[in-house]
Chain A
Amino acid sequence: MALVELNHVRREFDGGRIVALAGVSLAIEPGETMAIVGPSGSGKSTLLNLLCGLDHPTSGEVKFEGRPVNDRTDWRRIRARHVGIVFQSFCLLPELTARENIEVAIAGNIRDSERRERSLELLNAVGLSGRADQRPPQMSGGERQRVAIARALINRPRLVLADEPTGNLDQANGRHVLELLMNVVSSKGAALVMITHEAAIAAFCGRRLVLVDGQVASDSHA
């Protein structure tokens, strides 16, 4: 059974004047890694948002683990428990420390000691064990993105979505973060869907989906 499935999904904006996605169908399997590539305005971010319920289709159907999901409350529950998101702009809360930024994403009622243990373990995994009490403004872009990756993994998600995770980083930092993301995701057995503009980065993934004008131009496996 596919982890996430899109069936004939169409997403329009501005009363139909803008068509971001025009009938896209695809399935993402557990543990799969997929790169979504395409020019600006091709619908990549819209597709990513639809995969986790941050946006809703104008028509068509989105299924998570075989069940159609239409309700925003259901999507929030799914995002909290099964989906980790890494944003291009990190989306960290500036007033919180690195550890707190990770713990803020923890779903469910768990003990403080376990929260701390899990967040420190992930900070260690992304190489930031000594920066737990630093706040985002005190950190470099690469460090922030590593915190964001740790946050995305805190609930042991089945699906990790990354929107140009290296887009705001220099080449060396970007490569390091990417390797880290791939390693951590594969070690946790999660599926990864990543938007990127760069072919070199897309080459890290086992599957490559090319979007053009809101339609799947090609969908290939390595």
Chain B
Amino acid sequence: MRKFQLAVHHIVGRPLRSVLTVIGIAIACAGSLSVTGLIQGVQDSLEQGMEEPGVDFIVGERASFSLVGGSIPESLGPKLAEVAGVSDVSGVLFNVETVDNSANVVVSGWPRDSFLWKSLDLTGGRIPAAGENRSIVLGQSIAGALKKTVGDEIDIRFTKFKIVGIARFSSYLNQNIVLIPLDALQEFLSRRDSVTFFQIRLARPIDPERAAQVKTGLTAAAGNFAVFDNGEFTSDIRLIGIIRAIAETISVIMLGLALLLVATTLLMAVNERTYEIGVLAALGWSDFGILSLIVLEGVLMTAVGAAMGVGLGMGVMQVASQSSLAAGYLRPFITLALVVRTVTLTIAIGTLGALYPAWRATRLDPAEALRRQ
């Protein structure tokens, strides 16, 4: 009789308790995976959204609190454009607005002559024409979610905007974006002559050495502002750091609950099985043998719970990403590394939770335990 079989017997022998424990572990694992995955998804969405139109560098505020909080004078743009190796510069004004009183979407203002407009892949309509201040282009996902098409209107802050085009994007952020000419957005938000950041495209071809030289030039021209690549820019946003810290705290709390659940279940099991553990000790099972049997039970339940938790976590992320309240920010983000990390952590937590009950089991006096039949 192998230890593994015996552990399975014990788990299967108490089906209701085992199932409830496994479900609890699965929920904890799913919670940990989804909060971690969603926040990584936010950062990844932003990064991909920035990169998508062929942007190499971003000039923005250092340690900006939020993505939309930056304020840089538009007049910096021409100075950045003069740096050798820079092909295009576009100031971008970013904000988050509630559209049609239902969806929170990113609204992005691009200069009418920006290279960004030229990179658009329109599925219908056109870009706003000169002089059109209440014309917009919608990303295809948010257009679909809002059931809007070219010619329809949307409402932002009680102001009607006409949809003149719908664009296809690959990044999740841009699929849910609202694009407005920069001057129109500046006027609408009362932020004249100001942008949130500049997006820079370098002259092609580029190599790492040349990119580093251009970055040095941009840094000199940017003065008090910082030059980032796309990944650095999103990592530097303080709000994302704070949300990440909150997510990790929640994740730790959830896994801590899983630990308590495993410990409680196995303590109950050890208590109920005092007699059986006494029999095993009387038969000559070593302390390590008894300890490893109980720990194995914990590991098995945790492993099943973790596997279920991964599936559940993916489902939770899917549901969260479909909420129109967070269109463009939340998306299912799952990588092998994230799954391995979460499963490993959950199993480690389960093992830890099983150790104390297992140790208690080894402390039982076999003669006393056998009297409890």
Contacts and interface: CB of A to CB of B under 8 A. Distances in A.
Interface of A: 49, 52, 54-55, 73, 76-81, 83, 85, 87, 89, 91, 93, 95-96, 100-101, 103-107, 112, 115, 151, 155
* Residue from A79, A93, A101, A115 whose CB has the most chain B CB atoms within 10 Å: A93
B282 A79 contact: yes
B286 A93 contact: no
Given A95-B9, A115-B1, A105 B370 contact: no
B188 interface: no
Given A76-B287, A104-B1, A96 B9 contact: yes
Given A91-B279, A91-B370, A76 B1 contact: no
Contact of B286 (A49, A77, A155): A77
B276 A93 contact: yes
Interface residues of B, number: 22
B286 A106 contact: no
B284 A77 contact: yes
B335 interface: no
A80 B367 contact: no
Contact of A89 (B13, B276, B284, B373): B373
B10 A54 contact: no
A192 B283 CA distance: 16
A100 B366 CA distance: 21
Given A89-B373, A93-B276, A115-B1, A104 B367 contact: no
A100 B281 CA distance: 16
B283 A85 contact: yes
Contact of B13 (A78, A87, A95): A95
A49 B281 CA distance: 13
Interface in B267-290: 275-276, 279-287
Query: What are the nearest 5 A-B pairs in CB distance?
Result: A80-B284, A79-B284, A103-B1, A104-B1, A54-B367
Nearest to A106: B1
Contacts of A49: 367
B5 A100 contact: yes
B212 interface: no
A44 B85 CA distance: 97
